[in-house]
Structure formats: structure tokens, C-alpha cells
Structure 1
Amino acid sequence: MTKVICYLSNGFPSIEKTLETADLYVEGGCDIIEIDIPTDNPFLDNEFIGGRMRKAFEQNQNYDYYLETIRKIREKHPEQEILIVLYEHSLKDIGVEKFIEFCHQLHTEDIILVGNEDNQIKNELMENGIRVSSYIQYHLPDEEIGMAKNTNGFIYLQAKSVGKVREGCETLRDCIEYLRNEGVNQPIYCGVGISNKEDVAMVSNAGGNGAFIGSAVLKKQNQPNELVHFIQEVKAATIRG
């Protein structure tokens, strides 16, 4: 069954709202909570999610504040899978050793490291048991496939084409099969543009191991019943036909 991965803004609009929303995600059956570390420069995120990260950081620039939020979620939901997403410049500010220790304490070793340019940092994380994901665009560039083979984390595969495709890989299923044939053995989680049960069913039927839902779930944050129902609905769509 494909895992449903729901994005959670850390500290926006407030820490209390973040914790409340995490409870709703768990109630709805979310398999993995993807929670960010806010920054004032989310240069690779869209305006909706990036704007939330900036606004949270404007309210509090202390990274310990956001790490503590993740700790509270882990303490309340010890069996819940948690995925941390943070920018490399934020990781440097936190401190690599401190972050590694934090992840191990919480048994939360999967991360998305955004804007990674320093292979030394990535290697240090992996050498210390932190699983760093690797992003591959829908048109499957050879360079990105090569990088994916040299990481220890899951593959974040773009779920929909933006016009450019590799020959013979017109569908998401084609893309996933191509990666498997190329020797990519890690779990493949698909995202970008996933917003409803039909999208999640597409990922599931294509053989994806997980489906990322970002803006679509965050926009229901102020409608608790609707939020829980939405997660349950997309979760049901992961049962492959």
C-alpha cells in the first residue's frame, strides 16, 4: 500500500496550531508527517508553503523552538513516522552534530535536505545513519539518477510532467519502472501537484511507495472534520486495483 505523506508547517500560524494539526493528521490515518524547519529563505518552495515558512521564522528565529515542536509530536505519537524537511543553510545554523543527535533521540532518521551544495555535510549525515532523500524530476535526468544511487534515503520523484519526458517514460508507471531497471532500489515517493484522491490513486497504481500532499491538506487546516475526512479519503485511494 502506498503511504500518504502530509505536509505540516512548523510554527505557522502558531506552534499550538501545528500540534493540533498533527493530532488531526494522525486521526485521519496519515502514514508520514512531513514537517519543516522554518527559514527566512525558502528559495526552492512555492509561494504558499514558502510563505508559511518565512512567516513562522519572522515570529521566532530560534531553531530550538521548532525542534521542540517535533519532539512534542514524537512524544505524543511515538509510533508515527516523521520526515523532517530543512534547508542546508538552516542545518548549518542548527549545527550538523546537534541535528544528528536530535534525529537519533527521536528515532526520526529520514530527512529532505533542500538546497544541498555541500557533499561533506550530506556524507556526514549519511555516515551517521541519517537517511537523506534524493529528488528526481519527471524527465529522469541521468545526473539525478546517478545521485539517487549514491544516497541512502528515499527517492522523491516528481509525479507529473511539466512538458519534458524521457522517451518511453510518458507515464508515472513508466518512470518508476525505468528507475527500477536502472538499479534504483530505495522507496520511491511521488509528489508535486498531488492534491486529491485521484492523484493519490495514480501514484498508487503506478507503483509509487508514497504520495506527498502539501498545499491541498494545509488549506484544510481550519476545518478539522473536513481535514480528517480528506486524509481518510486519499488513504482509501492507496489500495491498488
Structure 2
Amino acid sequence: MKVTHMNRINTLFANTRQKVLSVYFTAGFPNIDDTLSVAKHLEKAGADIVEIGMPFSDPVADGPTIQESNKQALDNGMNLELLFKQLEKLRDNVSIPVILMGYINPVIQYGVERFCQSCEAVGVDGLILPDLPMAEYLTEYHSTFEKHGLKNVFLITPQTSEDRIKTVDDNTDGFIYMVSSASTTGAQSSFGDEQKSYFEKVNGMELKNPALVGFGISNRTTFEQATAYSAGAIVGSAFIKLLSKSDDLENDINTFVKELKG
């Protein structure tokens, strides 16, 4: 058994399992060179995890806001080669966990082994690849991810069976992405009873990994509701909207994070 250094994701959750805020944004959006500065401003403002979206032409699980940001980033000229170039100075600027999120297709085109090497070289801690099936991950990719110190994050939804949730928990070493509803991503003003009972159910299962709630977190209310039943929450669309209209990234990001976390 090889001993790996403590991953930043593990370190974070070893120290806190309350009101963890993870913020998603698309690499190369709104402008091609914004990737690193957005990450830096997020950490400074008090975010706990940064999720950087790898733009893809067909982001199936994402709502219109994130789809639009993907399109704009691609139009700006963003791709994986460029992203890793931009992230070369990541760890001079950002100390919190950084996760790359996207779809498996561009990763396969880039080369899985090479992709994982590039992640390790710049200091990426984990990956969220919603369309990578668990069986395929375990047989094809697990050892490569592990070798390069990358945590794979699986998604569960209100439709996921308890058996499946337990399997996800067994094969996770980091956190579980708890999708709040079966729809695509997007902001909503509050969660209904159905979502709350799902949060309660998962919370009651006493999983070994912390869960972060994503999809529909947009404001203080939804953040508080989600974190009442979980270790934290993931914000995406609401943050992308902010970026798309911001004239002062540092200031606006600071206000956004502070208002959300309270």
C-alpha cells in the first residue's frame, strides 16, 4: 500500500464539515485570462473549494447559464492545453482545494494518463466527471487517478437508490456531490419538502464521506437550507451570472461569497 500525501480535499474535511462552500466557474470566462484571478479572488473572499469548469460543446447536465458560459469560453479560445498553461502558477496563488469539472470526452482526447499528469503538475486535487460511469472509473481510471493524487467525485440524485449511495460512499475518498433535484443546474430561491426529505434521508445514512449539495444553490436561504443537512454546498449558475455582468471581479466576488456564507 503506497502512502500518499494528504490531499487538500481530505485536509479540508478533516478540519471542517460545516458550511463548506464550493464555487464553480468556467475556465476562460468571461474573458480568456480570467481563470486564475477568479480562483484567487474566490479564496480571498472565503470560498473553501474552487471548481473550475473545463468548457465542452455539449454540457448535458448543465442549465442554460453554464451552457452559455461554456460556449463563450470556447469562443474565447479556451481548451485543455491552454487551461493547464494558465494553471502553472495556480499554487503560487491559491492554497485551497481545486477541482476540475467537466465531461470525459475532452479528457480522453487529451489522453487520460497525460491529463492526470498535467493535473498533478499544477496542483489539482480532484475531478468531477458526471458522465464517467462508476464501473468504468473503477476498472479503467481509478489507479491512474490515484497515482497522481486525484480524488474522483461521484454524483448522487434524489433518484439514486440507497444501495447505490452506499456503493458511491464505499468508492469515494473525498466528498460526494449530492445533486438537489433531477433537473439541470440553475438557481432557485428555496428548496421544497421533497428535496429536504432527500437531504434528511442521505444525512441519516451516516456515510463516511461528507456530502456537498449542488444544483439550485443561489443565495443565503438555499445555502443555509442545504448546509443544515450536509457538510456544505456548491454554487455554480448564480456565480456565473455574477461574473457575466461584473465590472469589478475582486469586489463583486468578495461581496457574493460573504453574502452567501453570512
User: Could you say whether these structures have the same fold, taking a TM-score greater than 0.5 normalized by the shorter chain as the test?
Assistant: yes
The one-letter amino acid paired with 2:228 is N
Q: Cα gap change, 1:145/1:95 in structure 2, threshold over 3 Å: closer, same or farther?
A: same
Equivalent position of 1:184 in the other structure: 207
TM-score, structure 1 normalization: 0.82
Q: Cα gap change, 1:73/1:107 in structure 2, threshold over 3 Å: closer, same or farther?
A: closer
Deviation at 1:181, TM superposition (A): 5.0
Equivalent position of 1:34 in the other structure: 51
Equivalent position of 1:202 in the other structure: 225
Separation in structure 2 between the aligned mates of residue 177 and residue 13 of structure 1, nearest angstrom = 37
Per-residue Cα deviation, 1:37-56 (whole angstroms, up to 9, x for no partner): 11122122112112211332
Matches within 5 A, 1:58-77: 58-60=75-77, 62-77=79-94
Q: Is the 8 A contact 2:65 2:241 kept in 1?
A: no
Q: Is the 8 A contact 1:158 1:191 kept in 2?
A: yes
Equivalent position of 1:165 in the other structure: none
Gaps in structure 2 of 5+ consecutive residues: 1-17, 184-192
1:227 counterpart = 2:253: yes
1:53 counterpart = 2:76: no
Separation in structure 1 between the aligned mates of residue 158 and residue 58 of structure 2, nearest angstrom = 25
For residue 128 of structure 2, the aligned residue among 112, 116, 119 is: 112
For residue 112 of structure 2, the aligned residue among 72, 96, 107 is: 96
Q: Cα gap change, 1:65/1:202 in structure 2, threshold over 3 Å: closer, same or farther?
A: same
Equivalent pairs: percent with the same residue? 24
Q: Cα gap change, 1:11/1:122 in structure 2, threshold over 3 Å: closer, same or farther?
A: farther
Per-residue Cα deviation, 1:62-107 (whole angstroms, up to 9, x for no partner): 4210122233333322x12111102111110111111221232334
Deviation at 1:4, TM superposition (A): 0.7
Separation in structure 2 between the aligned mates of residue 220 and residue 61 of structure 1, nearest angstrom = 20
The aligned length equals 227
1:86 counterpart = 2:102: yes
Equivalent position of 2:19 in the other structure: 2
Deviation at 1:61, TM superposition (A): 6.0
Gaps in structure 1 of 5+ consecutive residues: 163-168, 237-241
1:23 counterpart = 2:40: yes
Separation in structure 1 between the aligned mates of residue 195 and residue 70 of structure 2, nearest angstrom = 32
Separation in structure 2 between the aligned mates of residue 205 and residue 145 of structure 1, nearest angstrom = 20
For residue 237 of structure 2, the aligned residue among 199, 209, 215 is: 215
1:151 counterpart = 2:171: yes
Separation in structure 2 between the aligned mates of residue 233 and residue 218 of structure 1, nearest angstrom = 16
For residue 134 of structure 1, the aligned residue among 128, 141, 154 is: 154
TM-score, structure 2 normalization: 0.76
Separation in structure 1 between the aligned mates of residue 194 and residue 56 of structure 2, nearest angstrom = 36
Separation in structure 2 between the aligned mates of residue 138 and residue 102 of structure 1, nearest angstrom = 34
Q: Is the 8 A contact 1:38 1:54 kept in 2?
A: yes
For residue 44 of structure 1, the aligned residue among 61, 72, 75 is: 61
Per-residue Cα deviation, 1:177-199 (whole angstroms, up to 9, x for no partner): 53355463211010110000111
Separation in structure 2 between the aligned mates of residue 48 and residue 197 of structure 1, nearest angstrom = 20
Deviation at 1:26, TM superposition (A): 1.8
Q: Is the 8 A contact 2:179 2:213 kept in 1?
A: yes
The one-letter amino acid paired with 2:35 is T
Tell me the secondary structure at the aligned position of residue 228 of structure 2.
helix
Tell me the secondary structure at the aligned position of residue 219 of structure 1.
helix
The one-letter amino acid paired with 1:156 is Y
Per-residue Cα deviation, 1:85-131 (whole angstroms, up to 9, x for no partner): 02111110111111221232334232101211483445443324232
Q: Cα gap change, 1:117/1:204 in structure 2, threshold over 3 Å: closer, same or farther?
A: closer
Equivalent position of 2:13 in the other structure: none
